[in-house]
Each structure stands twice: as structure tokens, then as C-alpha cells.
Amino acid sequence: MRPQILFLDAYDSFTNNIVSLLTTLLDADVHVLPIDTPLLDPQSPDFAHAFGRELAHYHAVVCGPGPGSPDHEADVGLIRAIWALGHDDLLPVLGVCLGFQSLVLSAGARVRRLRRGLHGMVRPIDHHKPAAVARKLKGDMFHAVPPFSATLYHSLCADVGQDAVPAAAWPARRWDAPSVAPDLLPLAWASEDRGDREASERILMAARHRAKPFWGVQYHPESVCTHAAGHAVLRNWFREAMRWNAEAQRDVVTASDGRPLLARHATRPSLLSQVRRLADEHAASVPWTETTSPLATVGLDCAYTRKTLALPPHLGVPDLVEMLRRGTAASSEHIILDSANADKLASGAADVRGRYSIIALDGTVRKSAAVATLAAAEAILHVPKEEAENLMIVDLVRHDLHGVCGPGRVAVPHLMRVEEYASVFQMITVVDARLPERRRGPIQPQADAPHTGLDVLAASLPPGSMTGAPKKRSCELLAELEGRERGLYSGVIGYMDVTGRGDWSVTIRTMWRWDDEEEGEEGEGGDVWHIGAGGAVTILSTPEGETEEMFTKLAGPLGVFSQ
């Protein structure tokens, strides 16, 4: 039997990436259970028994990342119950980001805000310990792991009293169990130089529980920019987990007793996939399902503005289209809205079955006398702010695609490459995905039913470059801040045929008009065109920088009216 891992999902926008990594790296079956599943009520008098009975089916648990704070019960749900398990129900656990912070909190330490958030930042993970410390430390999942860097997505950090340790004593004392949480053993640290007169910020990156089989990491091992050498940490953790199970003589209950598990598999069946399943069952032919689909395209924009222009009566839509095409080279141009946007949300190659690509665009610089070459643009765009924005979107897109295509079927062939267009230089990343091929023969279990191109498109909406991460919480904040619907701006436009083939792009760098909207006196008015533009706001953003980026994106469509 393959190892069984339970993943407690705290609604993070990178969950599916972790599930994919655990599945492929550890050769395990990973089952996902939401932290607030209605099937387990912590207030029920039977909760401890029901939760223990569910956990008995797994070799280990991973408590995932998520938005919010470990101090808020609603943000961690079942994760908090994991640390309170009784002796008979204990099993190996790994906390990631929020899950790690919850572990630290349960051990008696505090969680506080960083001096400045580290979302999308890549930092070296310092896990090298003196030989004397390494010999005494049992269960160190960093044993024999080479130096590596990892992606951070957090604004909170563990406070185990590290700031009170004098600089001279820090190198030796940082591996000691802190007095505020004596059961926590530090395993790795990161140091963040804030560039001011204050000392570098010491950030706990990993720890384990002294007496229980609990481990945790603050960084994101699944990120595309976490060095592959760091994957050895997960292998070591799982080796320690299986060793603990053996030493504790803990047996894992199989599901052969007929009782269904509460958790689900990493992907869900789609409606259209059920058509195929039933066709197999009844030996029927469904011709329009025989060719796979292509879809994938993305954009960017959280800060938002809109400009309305009155078009002179002598210019019509064909004139604008022609001028826009001359001014902006893009892979997608749509007359319906008159769009010239290179952001690809969902496209699939017609000659390759089940393959999809999403092009994440983030980081734009306008061509000018000062920025006239690709090398000059790369120097401007390959900076922490631009790379962090692009990385966050890429990891979000990977999550969306993993949820449909399944573990191990998403790749990033081009990461943060700067490309030249007619009027701008743009940083792009290409994310490729493959849908599982349809299997003939006996009916497969419902969870194995394949998805279609329509599912790829649906999973990608709203585009991650329009929301940021975590996607759900970001959309809620944007609705509060903007106070109105965006309309066509930051949606998607494209086509899909009956086989599922398609090509979609995000409606930025786009002009649109309504047939019943005119400017001026009756009979003399011109068409009214709307143009939206925005920029992704992060912790490293400045008002001046985001304003400049918005006007850079606005310049292409707006330039039509100056011709």
C-alpha cells in the first residue's frame, strides 16, 4: 500500500502545489480535508473520537498554509486540534507556514508581525549546525541537506525570544530550546537585513517538537523558486515520520472496511467528464469530446483606474483596430473589444492532446531613450519587487492548474524572462499543464474522471494576475476598496469550440464601448470608449511606481487617440 497523507487545507492559494509535491516526491496518496469541514465538529462531544478514527487511516498529516493568523480559531480550524491530540491518537505532522506558526503557538511561544512582510521573497535557509549540536539533535530533517534558498510568503513570524539574545551569543544560542517554549527545538533560521540602523531580523524557519512527532517549516517548499535541494527536507521528514510510526508500533488502518474517508483526492471530477464516463458505461460515442482543448492566458492589476474618451465622429471601429495593432504587438488582438494584450490565460495547442499554457505577465517598463535595449530593461525588471509579483502569480497559476490536471502535470519552462514588444518590455513566465488522457475500458472511480479544457478555464478565473494571492481574500479586499464592478476590464476574452480548443486573454490594454453611449449633442456625438489600467500593489510598491506602471499600460491603447 502506498503511504497515505492527510493534508489539512486552510484555503491557501498554493495548496494544490504542495499536494502535487508531496504526491510526486514521496510517492504517496494525499487526501485533502478542509480545516472547517462540516463533517467534523470540534464542539461535538464525539469530536475527539471521530477525529482520531479519521486520522487512523494516515501515515502522517501536513497542516498547510493559509491566510489569516494562528491566533484566530476560524483561520486554523482542525489544525489547532492536531497539536492537542491524545497519546493514543498521535501521528507524525508537518506544519507549513500557517501550520508551522500554529505549532509554535501551541508550544507556548508567540507569533508577531515582521517589520515588513516577505511575500514572494527568496532567501537562504540557514540550517548548518555545529557538529556537537548535530550529534545531540534527533529527528533533524535538515540532516545532510546542502545549502538552499526558499520562497517566503508571510508577514507573521514565530517569536521565541530570539530578539533578546545578544549578538555575540547568537551563533551558539540560536540552536537552544527557547525558555518561552522549551519543547521547541530550532532547526533553521533566516536573517533579513532591513537596511536601517536596526539589527537584522532573526526569523525562525523550522523547528520540531522535543517529545512529539511534530515538525514545521515557515517557508514554502512547493514554490517554483524554492531550490530543488530543499526537497530533501521533505524526504527526511517523511523518513523520520515512518520511523516514528514503526518505533511507536502504530498501525495504519486501511479503507477496506468500507467506511469512506472524509478527505477527498487532490482533484475533483467535472460535469463534462461525467459525460465521458457515462459514454464509456453505455458504449456510446460522443464525437465532440474526442479532441482535447487548448486554453490559457493571464494578466495583472489590482490598483485600478479607468479613463473614458470621446471618439471624433469621423473615426470608426476599424480605424481604431488598425491603429492599435500598429502601436502594440501582442499575441492576441480582439476586435470585439479592440484589445492588444499579450497576457495568455488559457490556450491549448491543437496538435497536442490535453496541453495548456498560461503566460503570466508581471513587470512592465515603457520603451524610451533611457530604456532602449533588452539589457537595460532586464536591469530594471530583475529586481525584488518585480520578481516577487511575477513569482506570486506563477505559484498561484500552478495551484489553479494542479487542481484540474493533477499532481506532477504542471511545469514552468520559462521563468521571469524579459521580452520586447512594440512599445514596452515585459517580464513573462510560461506555465504548461497536461490533462490526463482519457482511459478506456472499465469505468474508473468518480475521483479519476478526467477534466476538460472548460475546467482549465474555470479553474483559472478570476485571473491570478488580476487578484494576487490568496485569491479569495484579495477579491474581498478589492471589492471593498474599489466599491464598484470592473465590468469588462480584467475579465477574459477568447473563444472555445465544441471540442474544448480555445484561446483566451485577459482584458487589459483594452478599449471598449457600448452601442447606446454617445458624447455630445444628438446627431453630432462621437463614440465613447473606456480604457482600464492598473498595477499589482505589494509591500514593496510605492504610489509613484504604481502610477507610472498604470500609465505605461494605458499608453498603448491611449496612443490610438493621438494618431
CATH number at residue 137: 3.40.50.880
What tens digit of pLDDT does each residue of 201-225 get?
A: 999 999 999 999 999 999 999 999 9
What domain range is 147 assigned to?
4-257
If you count DSSP H runs as helices and E runs as strands, how many of each does the chain have, helices first? 16, 24
- 230 and 296 both lie in a single domain: no
pLDDT given for residue 504 in this prediction: 83
- 372 and 494 both lie in a single domain: yes
Rounded mean pLDDT for each run of 10 residues along the chain, 563 residues in total = 95 96 97 95 93 96 96 96 96 98 97 93 96 91 97 97 94 94 97 77 97 98 97 98 96 68 59 52 48 33 47 57 54 46 49 70 83 93 90 93 93 93 87 79 49 82 81 84 82 77 80 72 67 78 82 78 69
In a domain, 242, yes or no: yes
CB-count exposure of residue 528 (10 Å: 0-12, 13-18, 19+): middle
- Please name every residue paired with 126 in a beta bridge, in sequence order, or none if there are none: 189
Domain boundary among 257, 282, 313: 257
pLDDT given for residue 259 in this prediction: 53
Pull the grid cell for residue 315.
473615426
- 452 and 535 both lie in a single domain: yes
In a domain, 517, yes or no: yes
Q: CA-CA distance, 315 to 548, in Å (whole number)?
A: 29
SS3 for 463?
Answer: coil
pLDDT given for residue 264 in this prediction: 65
For the residues of 18-76, what is the DSSP string, one character each?
HHHHHHHHHT-EEEEEETT-TTS-TTSTTHHHHHHHHHTT-SEEEE---SS-TTSHHHH
**Contact assessment for residue 210 and residue 182, using Cβ atoms and an 8 Å cutoff:** yes
- 218 and 327 both lie in a single domain: no
Pull the grid cell for residue 358.
498560461
In a domain, 282, yes or no: no
**Contact assessment for residue 218 and residue 101, using Cβ atoms and an 8 Å cutoff:** yes
- 253 and 302 both lie in a single domain: no
- Identity of the amino acid at 173: R
Q: CA-CA distance, 25 to 130, in Å (whole number)?
A: 29
- 312 and 456 both lie in a single domain: yes
- 243 and 295 both lie in a single domain: no
- 188 and 329 both lie in a single domain: no
- 199 and 333 both lie in a single domain: no
- 235 and 299 both lie in a single domain: no
In a domain, 240, yes or no: yes
Pull the grid cell for residue 112.
508577531
**Contact assessment for residue 141 and residue 93, using Cβ atoms and an 8 Å cutoff:** no
pLDDT given for residue 466 in this prediction: 81
pLDDT given for residue 312 in this prediction: 57
- 405 and 538 both lie in a single domain: yes
- 302 and 248 both lie in a single domain: no
Give me the CATH number covering residue 400. Answer: 3.60.120.10
pLDDT given for residue 352 in this prediction: 45
In a domain, 269, yes or no: no
In a domain, 275, yes or no: no
In a domain, 342, yes or no: yes
Q: How many CB atoms within 10 Å of residue 8?
A: 26
Pull the grid cell for residue 190.
533566516
- Beta-carbon contacts of residue 37 (< 8 Å; ≥ 6 apart): 78, 262
pLDDT given for residue 95 in this prediction: 98
In a domain, 61, yes or no: yes
Instruction: Give the position of cell 502545489.
Output: 17
Pull the grid cell for residue 171.
551563533
Domain count within the chain? 2
Which residue, 560, 503, 495, 535, is CA-closest to 338?
560
